[in-house]
Homo-oligomer: A and B are copies of this chain.
Amino acid sequence: MTDRSEGPELYFRCHVFCCTNVRPEGHSKGSCSERGSVRLRNYMKARAKEFGLQGVRINSSGCLDRCEHGPTMVIYPDGVWYHYETREDVDEILETHVIQGRRVERLLLRSGG
């Protein structure tokens, strides 16, 4: 475990990475983008802007290597992972995790899972 009390001041207090990886059609693993992650990440970014959230960034990323749970996102520095499928999922993650600082239990990916 990293003890953040000895870490640097955070540039973003909440840094979200949504996998938007693309794989060739028919690939056995599929991909997060194939499951709607680009659209949902764009929605999340727009909603965060609407909320006027400071110190929050909603990034796209390459493959996060948990494709079987896709679409996936990870939120740092917390190191919390979510699966999401709908705009309602994204809203809940924004409102509950990003704004209120609590976990969205129903969407959590468990470590090693």
Contact = CB atoms under 8 A, between A and B. Distances in A.
Interface of A: 1-5, 7-11, 15, 17, 20, 57, 59-66, 74, 76-81, 109-112
Nearest to A66: B11
Nearest to A11: B111
Contact of A7 (B59, B66, B80): B80
A9 B4 CA distance: 14
A85 to B, nearest CB: 20
Contacts of A74: 11, 15
A9 B62 contact: no
Contact of A77 (B2, B61, B62, B63): B2
B60 A62 contact: yes
A7 B61 contact: no
A59 B57 contact: no
